[in-house]
C-alpha cells in the first residue's frame, strides 16, 4: 500500500462513479446525494479517465456499473488495484444473475446492488466507507508497529556491546547482534546452531545451569571465541519473552583487557612493596653489620693474641678457643647480613659457571650424602658471567644445602646452566631486572616444595621453617643480596610436594675467564716499616696498633683525617703505609688517602672497612688498584695484607 487513505473530509464523501448511461448516472447520483453528504462526485467511462481521476484526487468509494460497452466493472477494479488503493468498490447492475454477482465479488467488489433496488445503495456505501476507514486504521497501526519493531531491532543490532537473546529452556541463541558476531568471530548462522553452553568452558557449566534456573546473573564469566581464545566477560541479563518464548536477553562486556591491566598493576605493586621491604631490611642489616664488625674485630683479635701468648698446655686455651669460635660464627652471620644488605665487597671477574660448578661437584655430592643423586646439566659453549666467583660458590652451596634439607628421604638434585636473554617484557614484569643477555644457573630438587607463605618470605633474613638450631634463615637472603649486588636476578618455581627450582641470572660478559687470585703463601708476617694508622673507633685502633707493634712495625696513629695531616707534617722520616678505615665521620678514608699521597708521593694505602662505601667502590665493586681488608680484622689477615701491600712492586699512581 503506497498511498495513505485520508479520512472522509468533513465536507462529505468523495465518490467516483463509473457509468456509461447518463440516465443511470443521474439516477445513482440522485440516490447518493439524497442519503449522503457528497462533497465530490466524478463520473468516468473508461480506464484512462479513471486512472486520471484516481491520480488527481482522493476518493472514498467507487460506484461502478457492471457492464459498460468497452469497460466493465472487472476492468475498473483492476485499475483500482493497480493504483494500490484499498477503495470500497460497489457494483450496480440492471440485471441479477448469481454467476455475475459471484464473479464481481471475487474480483474484489464489496457489494452488488441492483439498479431496481437502489435503496440499498446508501447504506451499502456508508457501511463500506466505515469499514474501509477501520481497515485503514488497522493498517496504520500495523505499519507503526513494524516501524517501531525495526527501530528496536536496529538498536539491538547497532549496540556497541555484544548482545543476544537465549531460549531459556534450550539455551540456544535466538538472536545475536552485529557486535556479538564481530567480537566473538562466529557468524550469525554458527550462532543460530549453538547454545550458550558451546561458548562456556566445560567446568563452568554447572554454575551456568544454576544461574539460568535462578536469578538473572550479573557476573564475570569466561567465554570462548571462535578462534579458541577465552575472554573474561561481564555478563548482565534479564528474562524477556521473545517471539512468544521464555527467553533471556544478555549483554556481554569483554573485560579481559581491564582485568589483565588490573592484575599487572597489582603484581607490580606487590613486587615493588616486596623489593622496598627487602631494601629496608637490607640497609638495617648493613648498618648493624658495620658496628658488629668493629666489635668482632676486637673479640677475635684479642682472643687470637691471648692464644698466641698461652703455652700449649695452658688450661685457659680451651676457654679462649670457645670465645674465638663464637666470634667466628658471629662474623659469618655478619658477613651474610652484609651480603643480604648488598654491602659486602665483591671482586667480580669473568667466570665460566660450568667450570666453577664442575670444580665443586665432589664437594657438593659429599654435602648431599648418599641418598641424593646429583646431576650436572651444563649447557655447552655457555657464555661467561661477570661475578665474584667466591660469592657464586657461596650461592651454589646455599642452594644445594636447601635442596638437601628439602629431601629428607633422598631424591634428586640437578644443577643446570644456560644462556638466557631477559627481554624488556620480562623486565617490565620483574622488578629490578636489567634486560639483556644473562647466564642462568638453576638448582632444582624433587623435594618438599614450598607453600605460598614460605614463597612470600623466603628471601627475608632470619626467615626459616627449619627447627631451632637447624637453620638461621640467612641462606637465601645471602643469595638474593649477592645476586642483586652483582646486577642479576633470582626467580623461583616451587610446587608443594613436587620440588623447587631456584634460578639465578647473572649478567653475561664477553671474554676469557680471569685467573683466580692465588692465596699468598704464609711467609714471615713481621716488618719494620712505618705505618700511619687512621681509625675512628678507639678499640679497633688500639687493637691494630698493638698487633702491628708486636710484629715489629713502627706505628703512628690518628683518629681522623685532621690528626693524620698533623702527624704527617710533624713526622720527618719516611712513612711507608697509610692504613685507614673507609667509613669515618667528617672525612672519608678515601679523602684522607688522596690528600696524604699528595703530600707524600709513594705512600702506599690499605683501606679497612666493615662494608662497602662508594668512595672506593662502585656498587660494591672495588676500584682496580685499591687494596682493601674486610672487617672483622684478625691479626693474621691484617699482617698478611699489610705485607702484601708493602711487598708489591712499586707502581706509579697505584697507592690511592
Chain residues binding Mg ion by CB under 5 A are: 402, 475
Nearest distance from C-beta of residue 177 to ligand ATP, angstroms: 53
Task: Using CB under 6 A, count the residues that bind ligand ATP.
Answer: 23
Contact 90, 122 (CB under 8 A): no
Strand partners, 252: 235
Q: Measured from the CB of residue 485, what is the shortest distance to ligand ATP in angstroms?
A: 17
Among 256, 472, 491, 539, indicate the residue that binds ligand ATP (CB under 6 A): 472
Establish how many alpha carbons lie within 13 A of residue 288's alpha carbon, considering only the half-sphere containing its beta carbon.
16
Nearer to ligand ATP (CB atom), residue 437 or residue 471:
471
Please list every residue from 418 through 447 that binds ligand ATP, using CB under 6 A: 445, 447
Q: Which range in 42-50, 169-177, 192-200, 466-474 contacts ligand ATP by CB under 6 A?
A: 466-474
Task: Confirm or reject binding of residue 67 to ligand ATP (CB under 6 A).
Answer: no
User: Which residues neighbour 408 within 8 Å (Cβ) at sequence distance 6 or greater?
Assistant: 448
Residue 147, SS3 per DSSP: helix
463 contacts which partner out of Mg ion, ligand ATP, none, CB within 5 to 8 A by kind? ligand ATP
Contact between 464 and ligand ATP by CB under 6 A: the answer reads yes
CA distance 293 to 282: 16
Rule CB under 6 A: say whether 476 interacts with ligand ATP: yes
Q: Which is nearer to ligand ATP, 339 or 406 (CB)?
A: 406
Nearer to Mg ion, 399 or 582 (CB): 399
- The closest residue (CB) to ligand ATP is 475
Q: Does 378 bind ligand ATP (CB under 6 A)?
A: no
Q: Are the CB atoms for 481 and 340 separated by under 8 Å?
A: yes
Query: Is 149 or 332 the residue whose CB approaches ligand ATP more closely?
Result: 332
CB of 390 to ligand ATP, least distance (A): 18
Residue 6: CA count within 13 A, CB half-sphere: 9
Q: Tell me the DSSP string of 340-360.
A: HTT-S-B--EEE-HHHHHHHH
25 binds, among Mg ion, ligand ATP, none (CB under 5 to 8 A by kind): none
DSSP string computed for 605-623: EEEEESS--TTTEETTEEP
Q: Which residue has the cell 661467561?
A: 384
Phi, psi of 134 (to 5 degrees): -65, -45
The nearer residue to ligand ATP, 447 or 632, going by C-beta atoms, is 447
- Which among Mg ion, ligand ATP, none contacts residue 472 (Cβ within 5 to 8 A by kind)? ligand ATP
Distance of CA 312 to the CA centre of its chain: 67
| 3 state DSSP class of 537 | coil
Question: Cβ-count burial of 237 within 10 angstroms (0-12 exposed, 13-18 middle, 19+ buried)?
Answer: buried
If one asks whether residue 414 binds ligand ATP (CB under 6 A), the answer comes out as no
* Residue 407 Cβ vs ligand ATP, minimum distance, rounded to whole Å: 8
334 binds ligand ATP (CB under 6 A): no
Instruction: Specify the residue, 254 or 445, whose C-beta has the smaller distance to ligand ATP.
Output: 445
Q: Is residue 408 within 8 Å of 532, Cβ to Cβ?
A: no
* CA of residue 252 relative to chain centroid, distance: 22
- 636 touches 644 (CB < 8 A): no
Quick one: which of 393, 404, 331 has its CA closest to 358? 393
Residue in 196, 169, 168 with CA at minimum distance from that of residue 180: 196
Nearer to Mg ion, 475 or 487 (CB): 475
Task: State phi, psi for 218 to the nearest 5 degrees.
Answer: -140, 105
Kindly tell me which of 415 and 474 has the beta carbon lying closer to ligand ATP: 474
Per-residue binder mask for ligand ATP (CB under 6 A), 393-412, x = binder: -----x---xx--x------
- What are residue 508's DSSP bridge partners? 385
- What minimum distance in Å lies between the beta carbon of 247 and ligand ATP? 55
Choice between 35 and 471, CB closer to ligand ATP: 471
Among 32, 458, 543, 603, binds ligand ATP (CB under 6 A): 458
Residue 474 interacts, among Mg ion, ligand ATP, none and using kind-specific CB cut-offs from 5 to 8 Å, with ligand ATP
CA atoms lying within 13 Å on the CB side of residue 100: 15
Using CB under 6 A, which of 289, 450, 630, 638 touches ligand ATP? 450
Residue 373 CB, nearest distance to ligand ATP (Å)?
A: 15
> What is the CB-side half-sphere exposure of residue 205 using CA atoms within 13 A?
9
Phi, psi dihedrals of residue 228, rounded to the nearest 5°: 95, -15
- Report strand pairing: 411-422 vs 436-445: antiparallel
Smallest separation, CB 388 to Mg ion (Å)? 20
Contacting ligand ATP within 484-513 (CB under 6 A): 500
| 472 versus 551: smaller Cβ distance to Mg ion | 472
| Partner from ligand ATP, Mg ion, none contacting 543, C-beta within 5 to 8 A by type | none
Interaction site with ligand ATP (CB under 6 A): 398, 402-403, 406, 445, 447-450, 454, 458, 463-466, 471-477, 500
Amino acid at each position: 500500500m503506497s498511498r495513505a487513505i485520508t479520512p472522509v473530509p468533513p465536507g462529505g464523501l468523495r465518490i467516483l462513479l463509473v457509468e456509461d448511461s447518463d440516465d443511470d448516472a443521474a439516477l445513482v447520483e440522485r440516490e447518493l446525494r439524497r442519503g449522503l453528504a457528497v462533497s465530490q462526485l466524478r463520473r468516468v467511462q473508461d480506464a484512462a479517465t479513471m486512472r486520471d481521476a484516481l491520480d488527481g484526487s482522493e476518493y472514498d468509494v467507487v460506484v461502478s456499473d457492471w457492464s459498460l460497452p468497452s469497460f466493465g466493472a472487472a476492468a475498473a477494479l483492476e485499475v483500482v488495484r493497480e493504483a494500490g488503493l484499498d477503495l470500497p468498490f460497489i457494483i450496480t447492475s440492471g440485471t441479477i444473475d448469481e454467476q455475475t454477482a459471484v464473479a464481481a465479488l471475487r474480483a474484489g467488489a464489496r457489494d452488488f446492488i441492483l439498479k431496481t433496488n437502489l435503496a440499498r445503495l446508501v447504506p451499502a456505501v456508508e457501511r463500506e466507507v466505515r469499514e474501509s476507514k477501520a481497515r485503514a486504521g488497522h493498517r496504520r497501526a500495523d505499519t507503526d508497529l513494524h516501524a517501531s519493531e525495526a527501530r528496536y531491532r536496529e538498536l539491538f543490532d547497532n549496540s556497541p556491546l555484544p548482545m543476544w537473546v537465549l531460549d531459556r529452556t534450550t539455551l540456544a541463541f535466538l538472536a545475536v547482534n552485529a557486535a556479538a558476531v564481530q567480537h566473538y568471530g562466529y557468524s550469525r548462522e554458527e550462532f543460530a546452531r549453538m547454545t550458550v553452553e558451546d561458548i562456556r568452558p566445560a567446568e563452568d557449566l554447572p554454575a551456568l545451569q544454576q544461574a539460568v534456573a535462578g536469578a538473572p546473573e550479573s557476573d564475570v564469566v569466561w567465554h570462548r571465541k571462535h578462534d579458541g581464545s577465552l575472554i573474561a566477560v561481564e555478563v548482565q541479563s534479564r528474562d524477556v519473552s521473545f517471539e512468544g518464548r521464555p527467553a533471556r536477553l544478555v549483554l556481554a562486556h569483554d573485560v579481559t583487557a581491564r582485568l589483565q591491566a588490573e592484575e599487572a598493576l597489582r603484581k607490580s605493586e606487590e613486587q615493588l612493596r616486596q623489593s622496598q621491604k627487602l631494601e629496608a631490611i637490607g640497609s638495617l642489616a648493613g648498618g648493624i653489620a658495620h658496628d658488629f664488625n668493629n666489635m668482632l674485630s676486637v673479640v677475635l683479635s684479642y682472643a687470637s693474641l691471648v692464644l698466641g701468648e698461652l703455652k700449649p698446655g695452658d688450661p685457659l686455651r680451651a676457654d679462649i678457643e670457645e670465645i674465638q669460635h663464637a666470634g667466628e660464627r658471629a662474623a659469618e652471620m655478619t658477613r651474610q647480613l652484609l651480603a643480604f644488605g648488598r654491602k659486602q665487597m665483591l671482586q667480580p671477574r669473568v667466570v665460566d659457571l660450568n667450570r666453577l660448578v664442575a670444580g665443586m661437584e665432589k664437594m657438593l655430592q659429599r654435602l648431599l650424602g648418599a641418598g641424593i643423586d646429583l646431576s650436572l646439566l651444563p649447557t655447552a659453549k655457555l657464555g661467561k658471567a661477570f661475578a665474584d666467583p667466591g660469592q657464586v660458590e657461596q650461592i651454589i652451596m646455599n642452594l644445594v644445602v636447601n635442596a638437601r634439607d628439602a629431601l629428607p628421604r633422598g631424591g634428586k638434585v640437578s644443577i643446570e646452566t644456560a644462556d638466557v636473554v631477559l627481554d624488556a617484557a620480562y623486565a617490565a614484569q620483574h622488578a629490578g631486572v636489567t634486560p639483556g643477555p644473562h647466564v642462568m644457573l638453576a638448582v632444582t630438587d624433587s623435594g618438599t616444595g614450598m607453600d605460598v607463605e614460605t614463597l612470600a618470605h623466603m628471601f627475608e633474613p632470619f626467615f626459616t621453617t627449619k627447627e631451632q638450631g637447624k637453620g638461621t634463615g640467612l641462606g637465601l637472603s645471602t643469595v638474593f643480596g649477592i645476586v642483586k649486588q652483582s646486577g642479576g636476578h633470582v626467580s623461583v618455581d616451587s610446587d608443594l610436594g613436587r620440588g623447587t627450582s631456584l634460578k639465578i641470572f647473572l649478567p653475561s660478559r664477553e671474554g676469557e675467564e680471569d685467573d683466580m687470585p692465588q692465596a699468598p703463601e704464609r711467609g714471615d708476617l713481621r716488618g719494620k716499616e712505618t705505618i700511619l694508622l687512621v681509625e675512628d673507633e678507639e678499640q679497633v685502633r688500639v687493637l691494630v696498633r698493638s698487633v702491628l707493634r708486636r710484629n715489629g712495625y713502627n706505628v703512628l696513629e690518628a683518629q681522623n683525617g685532621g690528626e693524620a695531616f698533623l702527624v704527617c707534617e710533624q713526622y720527618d722520616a719516611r712513612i711507608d703505609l697509610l692504613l685507614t678505615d673507609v667509613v669515618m665521620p667528617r672525612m672519608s678514608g678515601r679523602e684522607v688517602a688522596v690528600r696524604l699521597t699528595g703530600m707524600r708521593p709513594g705512600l702506599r694505602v690499605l683501606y679497612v672497612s666493615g662494608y662497602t662505601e662508594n668512595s672506593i667502590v662502585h656498587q660494591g665493586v672495588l676500584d682496580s688498584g685499591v687494596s682493601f681488608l674486610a672487617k672483622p680484622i684478625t691479626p693474621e689477615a691484617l699482617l698478611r695484607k699489610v705485607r702484601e701491600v708493602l711487598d708489591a712492586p712499586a707502581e706509579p699512581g697505584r697507592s690511592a
